[in-house]
C-alpha cells in the first residue's frame, strides 16, 4: 500500500511539473532594441502548440493597431521575422497566441528610429 501511495504522489508531482513546464515553454528568445524597419525580428519563438505571433503598435504602455502576423508551429521556431508593411513609428509588442487563440507570451521590442 505504501508503494502505491508513493507512486501516486510521484505521478502527481511529475504531472504538475509537466504542466508548469508547458506554461513556461511559450516564450520569445529576443527581447532587445532593434532598428526600425518593415520587418520585425522576434528571434526564437517557443510554442507549446501551433499558433501565431502578432505584432502590434505599442506606445506609452498602450497596445495599438495590429501591424503584422505570422504562423508558428509547436516547438522551437528559429529566426522569426514578421513583415509589418511600413516602418512602425512606435515601439511594438509581439504577442504569441496558441492554437485556441489564447495569448501565451508577449514581449515589447524597442525600435530605434
Distance in angstroms between the alpha carbons of the first and the last residue of the chain: 67
DSSP 88: P
pLDDT at 45 (0 to 100): 95
Residue 30 CB contacts under 8 Å (≥ 6 apart), including other chains? 41, 42, 43, 44, 107, 109
Cα three-residue angle 59-64-68, rounded to 5 degrees:
115
The string of pLDDT tens digits covering residues 65-77 is 999 999 999 999 9
Average pLDDT across the chain, whole number:
82
Q: Which overall architecture, per CATH, does domain 26-112 show? A: Sandwich (2.60)
What does pTM read for this prediction?
Answer: 0.78
Residue ranges of domains in the chain: 26-112
Amino acid at each position: 500500500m505504501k508503494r502505491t501511495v508513493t507512486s501516486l504522489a510521484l505521478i502527481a508531482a511529475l504531472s504538475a511539473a509537466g504542466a508548469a513546464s508547458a506554461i513556461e515553454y511559450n516564450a520569445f528568445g529576443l527581447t532587445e532594441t532593434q532598428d526600425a524597419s518593415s520587418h520585425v525580428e522576434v528571434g526564437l519563438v517557443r510554442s507549446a502548440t501551433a499558433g501565431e505571433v502578432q505584432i502590434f503598435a505599442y506606445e506609452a504602455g498602450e497596445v495599438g493597431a495590429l501591424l503584422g502576423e505570422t504562423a508558428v508551429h509547436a516547438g522551437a521556431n528559429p529566426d522569426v521575422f514578421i513583415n509589418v508593411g511600413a516602418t512602425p513609428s512606435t515601439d511594438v509588442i509581439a504577442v504569441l497566441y496558441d492554437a485556441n487563440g489564447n495569448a501565451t507570451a508577449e514581449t515589447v521590442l524597442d525600435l530605434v528610429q
